[in-house]
Structure 1
Amino acid sequence: MDLDEIREDKPIYASRGAADVHIGTVDKLEGGKYIKLTKTSAADGQHHWFPIDWVRAVDERAVYLNKTVDEVSEQLINEQPV
């Protein structure tokens, strides 16, 4: 996977059954280890992070996760990772 393809404002999708569902938008890649979501894409209006190893694919349009929508909502990091 080419981390350079993970760019600001790219939509992020997680799986729900056979479909991919939009779960947020990339704010930025932090330290090559985490993706920070935009505040405006979160229901609570706060930034959230997830590890780069959740990414299963990136293309010119979006970032696709290897997690379900439910797993993402349960496992998102709510404070900036160290």
Structure 2
Amino acid sequence: MHDPNFLIKLVQAKMPFGQYKDRYITGLPVHYLEWFSRQGWPNGQLGQYLATMFEIKTNGLDDILKPIIRKHRNSRY
């Protein structure tokens, strides 16, 4: 099922564990996403967010998130 708010939720999501805990998923370094790509994505929504960011970053599409970040990221995240 397609979630029309997926990218909004993605730009608001933070890494819940590990070396980059509490960092926005959109700000994770490519090498960290590459590691998950090799090891396997976590289950559920987190894995979807990480895999999506991997595709966005490795294809040079970071700019598509900038207007979404400006509009939808606020102080509670």
TM over 0.5: no
The structure with higher relative contact order (CA 8 Å, sep 6+) is 2
Considering fraction of residues, name the structure with more helix. 2
Considering fraction of residues, name the structure with more strand. 1
User: What's the TM-score once normalised by structure 2's chain length?
Assistant: 0.29
Larger Rg: 2
User: What's the TM-score once normalised by structure 1's chain length?
Assistant: 0.27
